[in-house]
Amino acid sequence: MSMYDKGSPYMVDVKKNEAVHICQCGHSKNPPYCDGSHAAHPTGEPLNYTAQKDETLGICGCGKTGNTPMCDGSHNN
């Protein structure tokens, strides 16, 4: 099962200065977070994101976004 089988975004709450590592290869067993699976799948390094403020990130769960890895609402089409 791919992280893109969810069909809707993963909502990730992050606090100011918190670092998260978001999967971009689609093979993580702990989506949307990177678990190192990209080492066996050279399709994408993780997005290393540090929040500049408290916020909620919408991470793509359908695989259709044009703004990888962020959700752009493509799952609605």
Greater model confidence, 47 or 42: 47
E strand or H helix at 31, and its extent?
none
Q: What is the mean pLDDT of the chain?
A: 89
Greater model confidence, 37 or 16: 16
pLDDT tens-digit readout, 14-32: 999 999 999 988 888 999 9
Q: Where are the beta strands (DSSP E) in 24-74?
A: 47-50, 55-59
Tell whether pTM > 0.85: no
